[in-house]
Structures are given as structure tokens and as C-alpha cells.
């Protein structure tokens, strides 16, 4: 398990744009399981939507991407990771199946499909309880 303090050492993101609260499990170059506790106090709920709060799909995708970035950094374990950033390159086949709302715990499972040099391709799925709520294939560059 990796807590939020270690996550902040790995990722450059900070509030209100840090969307991984804890890493539950991972295996280098294979997969990561992480969670985001969705609370009423999330900044994006001020406008999405004021009377019916729903976590934006783009934020769900970003949360998966951040989990994937953590996996890439943990897989490489290079000493100069502090100066590196993961950049989104593409999102494919994004599907949103059910709304994510305050009180939900979003479980993200991201698997590495392949990586070559600085480019990583990953497949991500998000669950609330045992229900699939979103999925996508993402590519990113570790620079």
C-alpha cells in the first residue's frame, strides 16, 4: 500500500488536481490498483452539477491516468523521477457506464499493455463496489 504522502512524492499534481488517494496494490510493469474517495467537497462539484453532483468523465479518465503515471514511475524507480512528468498522448475507447457521485470510492485498475522507451500504453477500468463505471485505453509519455 502506498499512502498519499508517498503519492505526492511521485506525482507533481496537487489539490485540486490530485485524484489518487491511495495505492492498494501494484506489480511493476504489469498493473496498479488505486482509489479515489469521492467527496462532496470536490472543487468540480461546484459546477458539475450544483443540484445533482456527478464526477465528470474527464476527471475519471485523469484519475486513471494519474494511477498509470504512478505505475510507470514505480516500475522505473529512477532516482531522477522527481524531475519527470507524464504527458497524456491519447485516449481511446473511453466509455462511461454509470455515474460516480459523492460518497463513492472509485477503484482504478490500470494495466500496462506495452511500453517502448518513453511511451506507455495502458488500459484502465474504474469500479464503484463491483460495478464497472468507466474504462479507457490511454497512451502517455514519460519525460
- Residues acting as catalytic residues: 48
CA 139 from centre of chain: 13
Residue keyed to cell 512528468: 85
Distance CA 118, CA 15 (A): 27
Distance CA 88, CA 62 (A): 9
| C-alpha cell of residue 131 | 460495478
Amino acid at each position: 500500500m502506498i499512502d498519499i504522502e508517498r503519492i505526492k512524492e511521485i506525482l507533481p499534481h496537487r489539490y485540486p488536481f490530485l485524484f489518487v488517494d491511495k495505492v492498494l496494490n501494484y506489480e511493476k510493469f504489469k498493473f496498479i490498483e488505486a482509489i479515489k474517495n469521492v467527496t462532496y467537497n470536490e472543487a468540480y462539484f461546484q459546477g458539475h452539477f450544483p443540484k445533482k453532483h456527478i464526477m465528470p468523465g474527464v476527471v475519471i479518465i485523469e484519475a486513471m491516468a494519474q494511477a498509470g503515471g504512478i505505475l510507470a514511475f514505480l516500475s522505473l524507480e529512477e532516482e531522477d523521477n522527481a524531475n519527470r512528468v507524464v504527458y497524456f498522448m491519447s485516449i481511446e475507447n473511453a466509455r462511461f457506464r454509470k455515474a460516480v457521485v459523492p460518497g463513492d470510492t472509485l477503484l482504478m485498475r490500470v494495466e500496462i499493455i506495452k511500453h517502448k522507451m518513453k511511451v506507455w500504453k495502458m488500459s484502465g477500468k474504474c469500479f464503484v463496489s463491483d460495478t464497472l463505471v468507466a474504462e479507457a485505453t490511454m497512451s502517455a509519455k514519460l519525460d
